């Protein structure tokens, strides 16, 4: 299907294009890849770039520290473990601080409102409530919008994209970290229906990435040892570990954290990494335990023993946690409900996000206006709906619910007389963690009125969909857990005596099914629920419910994170090939024009090509007199070329560097280390005189002599497997026959994207090889072009 | 470093070798790879073969079911889940049956001995004990030696090798399964110091592999649907799932099972596989729970509630499970002890295995004699050593130990008067599970005498080292857990009041540290211990102890399974490249002579090459008139060539098959499916007339047109990454320049083995790139050549 390649050495072609530099080689392909290099990161469009997990092997430097001297190896290993420990400690501290702040700020607010309600100052209570919520959310939104847009949203899609090999500036900067923490505290305290788990994942990843930046040259906070981490592979490992630590801190689930990172976030994994990640999450668990013990005597204000999410249902009511074979139908019912509601949730969320994005694109003021609207709506719901609920007398029969009703923080009187409680207010006017704890409590079947549960379910579902898109650090997990628990209880209430299961237990299953139906995680959901509830016996039920909800929901749409990834235009590369990729060869999709360099190249040509193209790597071809026939020498990176140009180690004639040149340390390996995220040289930084432009450089010492290659007749599906499994950024395509240039093109991540492939071969669109995915891709493409248009015009 | 390639088209060379068929292409390389194709599988040397995880893409058939019709896809998915469910159910049942049998047989034996002891018939008791042990072990050894040698040992190394891509006939056959189950019951019942966890892993893998065989043609137990699994990828997935299910059944640890398979066994993993594996282990857990409930009312004889390993320490003595910062030194002490003892254990085990292997190689009678010797030694130890222990009165102060002492099965009176117990006998004359439960019991600091603990530790350590090599299905886990628990308690006793930790808790830590020091698993050990003890709070201590013991022990030697793998000569391919591999190119190690075929080849040539070489794949090169210049068309497998020859679809002239030929279904895709383990055609099965030998076949429809290729100047380390990550069996090496044959060689697993590489380039031996590994490789090589020699001479 590929059009025949034109021979780049054809004389007449060279004559036609006079302006083209003599030594440059350009292979014209029929197609060019015009995939967008811009994606939504956080709440703003940003340029994105691929990461390079390949080990660059060239004469000059070797990124693999394990092959260095014994001392280097030991330093590297010690440093890696130290980083793991430090990431664990810091993530644990941050997790604690966020919880402490939320519990205190939010608790103070709720108590003040409750006190005002008790003195029947209802309007004052509302104005205080709505006003403080608005202030908190506007604070969160403004710092996100104006200080660090990359901190918006949950951050999990960005982390997932990074671990898949897509980098964007600022997603892991110091500023993003600070805004994420402060903004999340404010957003959660503002009673907005968002969680803190997603932002914790981003925070953990951020902390890890800052360690991996190798210090800061700007603030002279660097050291030679940190060099070991100045490459994408080690940074990827650290970010994986950090993300797992974030989950562990959010749920106090060390095993669940590792599995979450493994199952949902990471695209590459090694056995050693599991262990490091597990070590880090255990450190997190220990740190959190330490702080909770410190706070045990009430020294932390409102932050009590249950400050972190943890619903220990095993020890108190163990006899209520029983189930039998006859309970299977209710489990299936909960699972299917979760799938239907989850699929719909994802669908609605996408619609809402699309509208929100269009509003947010218009500028900072619009962002704040949207946030204010959502905040006021939320305040009205949260404060208004409990009025619908009837007052219920506190049970006095000594049942478990009895104690809970009289407990200070868990149940709310709202407008009710003393000795009564308002069940809706107990759910609405509490922080989400306490609301979940209320719903999970066993032996409380008679505490909630079905009408209240329906109201709360509708409000929680609706607010969940409406709140996430607000420009502020906001998580998805906790609202989903809460909504799921609500309909779990509803199902249990509807079945009434037909089910022998405790309502609290069904609430847990409801949460699991809704997580399965929206986020589509499986193992990690089970293990997180297991660790949250500290009850191994629940496992089979939770598994069954998640299995059902995920399987059913998968027939509607993708997981919420994948949908957000697509909406954001982040080019996530799946591990499995799409069926139509088997019908194509590599030659069918490789895009042009290809620019390559000679082994010894004129400086002017390099500068020209770097200026006129955006490519990040160029094949190096040795031609006579350096080799008898044109032969592929390797691949040279743009970043390395820029370093070379800045060094100005030029040669007057086209010849190779003398051996002493390299040996004498004129090039330091350090100079070629990958710099931190978003810190790159550009060709605009290079200013050369016209004399220098006429000189030559020897590219051989810089060239990666072992690039991975595929023959152009290789099936695209198998090339994708290679690209993805080995973690490449550039894959060289070599021609099958020898009668042409030794290299036919370069494949990058974008060449494997469905939009590009199906754009080149629209005939596949109607074929049976196509999957549902393409429609989604089209939407994403549309959105992306919209984004570009807005960008360019505003 | 590579010697220049000889041009295979040189005329004079062709003249020199008159006997070589005209159309055959042979590329002579300076080196040939004479790595052993034989390894110890179970207890006998067997031929081994690599597995092929690559998707074969050719005109004729496509192994990827996901690209087939909707119906095929649904069938495939449904079948896969059904298999997972069935594997879970069967593994659960087998796990239960093994436990039930062991508990009853062993319990009956121990009770009979105890009864005889109480009537002071000491000698009768001994003869009964030693005699029954001998009979049991000889039964286990004979069926292993004479019925299915592949069932010997734990089977974990074989499973690990299979999942790495090394197949051996019979490791997963029906017969092996039966012998493994029966032999393991007998071996464990014979009081031999071996466990049932390792054999459970093999059993689970075996059950899974039998599902993946696609039924049995011999017994007409097959169906078209089962075809979907007739390839190595799907079988690998099933075996991974089965192995995880085995661990889950052995320890009732569903999460631990998945993580064990992921961390220790599997070389490739996908996110979807985690979920399937987890589903299967959950089914195992449910099945076991069901059976245990069924047995609750005493209907299963001696099999009580604690029949399976599970030491639920959380619910009973929760207050004893506390620890503080000041307990860290004791944890470190236990960790370091575990590392030292573990490293020594591995070292001694290797020495003993080497001696045992030499004995076992001499024949069946020697195997049985060795087994008998070990059995008698064990009986003497187990029965003799308790006489050294003083009788201790049962405590009557109502402490937890009080109840235990009077419980029927857990504590033994042995020679003591009523109301007393013999602590050594309570450990020796119980099944290992009960002994572990005794050691893990909290609040029992005063139950054991330090002298008894030392005796038991030495005996347990020594018998563990001596027992594993006996020709019988035997596991390593349980002896290691038991030995670890013993020295854990010893450490706690030595420290006495300096430690605030409960002795039972330190015993658990001891087990963890010894597992970390021998098996070197990390995450899965932690999770298994967590699930065994059902106490999440232990996690930080267990992690710390495993981290220390693994790290320290790693500086001595490899994990016991890796050592056994090397000793057995199974070519396990590590994921990371050795440092010296970066100094070599692919061209430096590729071995010859290479045989390739023309696109349309003479039948006689194919037969000749298949007869004279053992290669499993051949490059197909199109030459004039089929292409203007010699060009690589793809790779054809020996198995497919054999099918083609058996079909006898020959052509009279060298031309391509007409299109109708393929379309008319003359070749059925089914014929080319990978057959079950060990069931292969050989060239000896093909009998052709001399007329047929002169005819031609068109190899194009059979050829995999998208083989992975590397350029000969590619660094060996990076080629290994490709080979390993993508899961290849054959990797084509293409020349850099175009002046030679279009293919320079084929790399297989054996070309990446240190023995081969360092044999070719002995200069690397002295270099700083070399690692410790080579010495081990040398030992393995020595052993392998010994094996070969014995094979050939006997």
pLDDT digits (tens, 9 = 90+) for A358-414: 998 888 899 999 999 999 999 999 999 988 888 887 766 544 444 455 554 467 778
Cβ–Cβ gap A736/B631 under 8 Å: yes
pLDDT given at position B47: 81
Residue A128 or A50, more confident: A128
C-alpha B505/C-alpha B330 separation (Å) is: 12
Closest by CA to B748, choosing from B599, B586, B578, is B586
Closest by CA to B479, choosing from B355, B309, B312, B317, is B309
- Residue in A with minimal Cα distance to B575: A270
Cβ–Cβ gap A709/B710 under 8 Å: yes
Q: How confident is the model at residue B230 (pLDDT cuts 50, 70, 90)?
A: confident
pLDDT given at position B21: 34
- Residue in B with minimal Cα distance to A586: B706
CB count in 10 Å sphere of residue B455 = 21
Residue A539 or B284, more confident: B284
Task: Tell me: pLDDT of A233 over 90.
Answer: no
C-alpha B245/C-alpha B278 separation (Å) is: 8
Where do we find the tokens 């603030």? A219
Q: How confident is the model at residue B179 (pLDDT cuts 50, 70, 90)?
A: very high
Dihedral sign (CA A127, A152, A90, A274): positive
* Residues of chain B with C-beta less than 8 angstroms from the C-beta of A269: 269
Residue A525 located in a structural domain: no
| A271 touches B: beta carbon within 8 Å | yes
Percent of chain A with pLDDT strictly greater than 70? 80
For A543, the closest of B279, B526, B575 (CB atoms) is: B279
Cβ–Cβ gap A523/B708 under 8 Å: no
| Cβ atoms B59, B701 nearer than 8 A | yes
- Residue in B with minimal Cα distance to A708: B710
pLDDT given at position A310: 54
Measured torsion, CA atoms of residues B90, B96, B97, B100, in degrees rounded to the nearest 10:
-170
pLDDT given at position A775: 42
Lookup: tokens for B298: 């005493």
pLDDT given at position A29: 43
CATH code: domain of residue A248 = 1.10.3080.10
Of the three residues B233, B265, B297, the one that is the final residue of a domain is: B297
Q: Judging by beta carbons within 10 Å of its beta carbon (0-12, 13-18, 19+), is residue A73 exposed, middle or buried?
A: middle
Preceding peptide of A187 cis, ω within 30°: no
pLDDT given at position A103: 85
Angle at B276 between CA B273 and CA B277, to 5 degrees: 80
Which stretches does DSSP call E strand in A187-230? Answer: none
Task: Tell me: pLDDT of A63 over 60.
Answer: no
- In chain A, residues 751-790 whose CB comes closer than 8 Å to chain B: 768-769
* Phi-psi domain of A202 (left: phi exceeds 0; alpha: psi -120 through 50; beta: other): alpha
C-alpha A651/C-alpha A547 separation (Å) is: 65
| B278 touches A: beta carbon within 8 Å | yes
What's the gap in Å between the CA of B774 and the closest CA on chain A? 16
> Once rounded to an integer, what is the mean pLDDT over residues A122-141?
94
Task: Tell me: pLDDT of B744 over 50.
Answer: yes
What's the gap in Å between the CA of A518 and the closest CA on chain B? 17
- A59 and A69, same structural domain? no
Strands A166-167 and B44-47: unpaired
Cβ–Cβ gap B286/A540 under 8 Å: yes
pLDDT given at position B77: 85
Of the three residues B297, B315, B337, the one that is the final residue of a domain is: B297
Range of the domain at B138: 65-297
C-alpha A364/C-alpha A375 separation (Å) is: 16
- A177 and A59, same structural domain? no
- A732 and A589, same structural domain? yes
Average pLDDT over chain B, rounded to an integer:
80
Of the three residues A297, A322, A346, the one that is the final residue of a domain is: A297
pLDDT given at position A22: 30
pLDDT given at position A239: 94
User: Which DSSP letter does residue B265 get?
Assistant: I
- A600 and A745, same structural domain? yes
Q: What is the pLDDT of residues B68-98, one digit of tens each?
A: 667 777 888 888 999 999 999 999 999 999 9
| Optimal mutation site among B163, B271, B768, interface A, most CBs of chain A within 10 A | B271
What's the gap in Å between the CA of A278 and the closest CA on chain B? 7
| Optimal mutation site among A76, A234, A275, interface B, most CBs of chain B within 10 A | A275
The pTM of this model reads 0.86
* Residues of chain A with C-beta less than 8 angstroms from the C-beta of B533: none
pLDDT given at position B773: 40
Cβ–Cβ gap B706/A726 under 8 Å: no
Q: How many domains does chain A have?
A: 2
Residue A499 located in a structural domain: no
- A32 and A96, same structural domain? no
pLDDT given at position A1: 37
Residue B259 located in a structural domain: yes
For A278, the closest of B64, B526, B627 (CB atoms) is: B526
- B17 and B163, same structural domain? no
| Cβ atoms A320, A433 nearer than 8 A | no
- Residue in B with minimal Cα distance to A578: B67
What's the gap in Å between the CA of B115 and the closest CA on chain A? 39
DSSP letter string over B183-196?
A: HHHHHHHTT-S-BS
Q: How confident is the model at residue A43 (pLDDT cuts 50, 70, 90)?
A: confident
Dihedral sign (CA A240, A243, A249, A251): negative
- Residue in B with minimal Cα distance to A738: B738
CATH code: domain of residue B683 = 3.10.580.10
| Optimal mutation site among A70, A523, A544, A740, interface B, most CBs of chain B within 10 A | A523
What ipTM was reported for this prediction? Answer: 0.84
Q: Cα Rg for chain A, rounded, in angstroms?
A: 29
DSSP letter string over A345-410?
A: HHHHHHHHHHHHHHHHTT-HHHHHHHHHHHHHHHHHHHHHGGGGSPEEEPP-S--HHHHHHHSTTT
Task: Tell me: pLDDT of B563 over 60.
Answer: yes
Task: Tell me: pLDDT of A77 over 90.
Answer: no
C-alpha A35/C-alpha A571 separation (Å) is: 10
| Cα–Cα separations (whole angstroms), residue B63 to B58, B60, B76, B137, B643 | 10, 10, 12, 45, 17
- B722 and B589, same structural domain? yes
- B72 and B136, same structural domain? yes
| B709 touches A: beta carbon within 8 Å | yes
- B95 and B17, same structural domain? no
C-alpha A206/C-alpha A178 separation (Å) is: 10
- B97 and B16, same structural domain? no
For A274, the closest of B263, B709, B726 (CB atoms) is: B263
Partners of residue A596 on adjacent β-strands: A25
| B15 touches A: beta carbon within 8 Å | no
pLDDT given at position A774: 38
Average pLDDT over chain A, rounded to an integer:
80
3-state SS assignment for residue B109: helix
Task: Tell me: pLDDT of A320 over 60.
Answer: no
Q: How confident is the model at residue B402 (pLDDT cuts 50, 70, 90)?
A: very low
- A153 and A90, same structural domain? yes
Residue A507 located in a structural domain: no
Partners of residue B696 on adjacent β-strands: B602, B651
C-alpha B748/C-alpha B730 separation (Å) is: 5
Q: What is the pLDDT of residues A539-598, one digit of tens each?
A: 778 888 998 999 899 888 889 999 999 898 888 888 777 778 888 888 888 877 788 898
Note the Cα B688 to chain centre separation in Å.
Answer: 41
| B104 touches A: beta carbon within 8 Å | no
> Once rounded to an integer, what is the mean pLDDT over residues A407-436?
77
Long-range contacts of A508-511 (CB under 8 A, 24+ apart): A508/A311, A508/A313, A508/A440, A508/A533, A508/A538, A508/A542, A509/A331, A509/A334, A509/A541, A509/A542, A509/A545, A510/A334, A510/A337, A510/A338, A510/A484, A510/A485, A510/A486, A511/A436, A511/A480, A511/A481, A511/A482, A511/A484, A511/A485
> Once rounded to an integer, what is the mean pLDDT over residues A129-156?
93
Residue A418 located in a structural domain: no
Lookup: tokens for A569: 């235009």
Residue B32 located in a structural domain: yes
Q: How confident is the model at residue B564 (pLDDT cuts 50, 70, 90)?
A: very high
What's the gap in Å between the CA of B546 and the closest CA on chain A? 10
List, edge to edge, every strand of the sheet that includes B745-747: B709-711, B731-734, B745-747
- A154 and A235, same structural domain? yes
Task: Tell me: pLDDT of A481 over 60.
Answer: yes
Residue B487 located in a structural domain: no
Residue B565 located in a structural domain: no
- In chain A, residues 517-536 whose CB comes closer than 8 Å to chain B: 522-523, 526-527, 530-531, 534, 536
């Amino acid at each position: 299907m590929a059009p025949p390649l034109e021979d780049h050495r054809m004389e007449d072609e060279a004559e036609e294009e006079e302006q083209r530099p003599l030594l440059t080689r350009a292979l014209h392909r029929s197609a060019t890849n015009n995939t967008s290099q811009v994606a939504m990161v956080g709440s703003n469009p940003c340029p994105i770039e691929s990461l390079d997990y390949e080990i660059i092997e060239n004469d000059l430097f070797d990124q693999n520290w394990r092959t260095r001297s014994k001392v280097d190896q030991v330093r590297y290993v010690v440093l890696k473990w130290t980083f793991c420990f430090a990431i664990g400690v810091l993530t644990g501290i941050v997790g604690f601080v966020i919880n402490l702040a939320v519990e205190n700020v939010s608790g103070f607010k709720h108590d003040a409102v409750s006190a005002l309600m008790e003195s029947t100052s209802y309007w004052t209570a509302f104005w205080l409530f709505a006003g403080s919520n608005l202030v908190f959310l506007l604070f969160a939104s403004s710092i996100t919008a104006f200080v660090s847009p990359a901190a918006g949203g949950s951050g999990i899609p960005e982390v997932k994209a990074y671990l898949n090999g897509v980098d964007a500036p600022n997603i892991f900067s110091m500023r993003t970290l600070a805004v994420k923490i402060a903004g999340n505290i404010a957003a959660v305290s503002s009673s907005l229906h968002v969680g803190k788990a997603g932002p914790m994942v981003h925070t953990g990843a951020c902390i890890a990435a800052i360690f991996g930046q190798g210090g800061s040259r700007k603030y002279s906070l660097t050291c030679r040892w940190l060099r070991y981490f100045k490459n994408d592979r080690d940074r990827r490992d650290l970010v994986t570990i950090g993300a797992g630590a974030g989950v562990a801190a959010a749920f106090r689930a060390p095993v669940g954290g590792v599995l979450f990172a493994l199952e949902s976030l990471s695209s590459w994994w090694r056995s050693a990494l599991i262990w490091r990640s597990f070590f880090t999450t255990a450190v997190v668990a220990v740190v959190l335990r330490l702080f909770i013990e410190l706070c045990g005597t009430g020294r932390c204000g409102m932050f009590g023993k249950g400050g972190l999410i943890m619903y220990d249902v095993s020890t108190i009511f163990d006899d209520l946690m029983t189930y039998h074979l006859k309970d299977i139908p209710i489990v299936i019912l909960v699972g299917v409900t979760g799938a239907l509601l989850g699929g719909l949730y994802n669908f609605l969320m996408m619609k809402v996000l699309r509208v929100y994005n269009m509003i947010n694109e218009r500028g900072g003021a619009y962002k704040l206006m949207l946030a204010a609207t959502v905040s006021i709506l939320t305040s009205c719901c949260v404060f208004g709906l409990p009025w619908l609920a009837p007052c219920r007398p506190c049970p006095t029969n000594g049942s478990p619910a009895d104690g809970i009703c009289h407990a200070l923080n868990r149940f709310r009187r709202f407008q009710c007389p003393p000795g009564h409680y308002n069940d809706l207010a107990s759910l609405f006017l509490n922080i989400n963690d306490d609301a979940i704890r209320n719903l999970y409590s066993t032996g409380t079947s008679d505490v909630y009125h079905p009408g209240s549960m329906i109201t709360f379910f509708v409000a929680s579902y609706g607010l969940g969909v409406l709140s996430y898109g607000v420009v502020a650090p906001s998580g998805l997990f906790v609202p989903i857990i809460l909504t799921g628990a609500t309909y779990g209880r509803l199902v249990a209430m509807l079945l009434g005596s037909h089910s022998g299961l405790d309502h609290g237990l069904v609430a847990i299953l409801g949460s699991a099914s809704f997580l399965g139906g929206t986020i589509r995680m499986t193992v990690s959901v089970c293990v997180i629920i297991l660790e949250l509830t500290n009850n191994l016996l629940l496992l089979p039920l939770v598994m069954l419910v998640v299995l059902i909800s995920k399987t059913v929901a998968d027939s509607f749409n993708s997981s919420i994170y994948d949908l957000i990834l697509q909406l954001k235009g982040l080019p996530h590369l799946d591990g499995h090939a799409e069926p139509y990729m088997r019908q194509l060869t590599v030659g069918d999709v490789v895009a042009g024009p290809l620019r390559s360099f000679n082994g010894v190249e004129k400086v002017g040509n390099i500068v020209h090509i770097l200026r006129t193209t955006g490519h990040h790597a160029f094949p190096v071809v040795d031609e006579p007199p350096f080799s008898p026939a044109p032969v592929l020498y390797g691949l040279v990176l743009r970043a390395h070329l820029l370093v070379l140009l800045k060094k100005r180690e030029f040669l007057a004639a086209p010849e190779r560097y003398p051996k002493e040149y390299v040996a004498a340390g004129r090039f330091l390996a350090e100079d070629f280390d990958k710099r931190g995220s978003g810190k790159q040289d550009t060709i605009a930084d290079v200013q050369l005189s016209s004399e220098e432009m006429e000189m030559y450089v020897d590219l051989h010492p810089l060239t990666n002599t072992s690039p991975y290659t595929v023959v152009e007749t290789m099936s695209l599906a198998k090339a994708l497997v290679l690209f993805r499994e080995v973690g490449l950024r550039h894959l060289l395509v070599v021609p099958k026959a020898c009668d042409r240039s030794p290299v036919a093109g370069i494949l990058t991540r974008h060449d494997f994207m469905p939009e590009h492939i199906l754009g080149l071969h629209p005939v596949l669109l109607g074929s049976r090889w196509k999957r549902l995915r393409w429609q989604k891709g089209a939407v994403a493409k549309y959105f992306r072009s919209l984004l570009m248009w807005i960008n360019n015009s505003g």
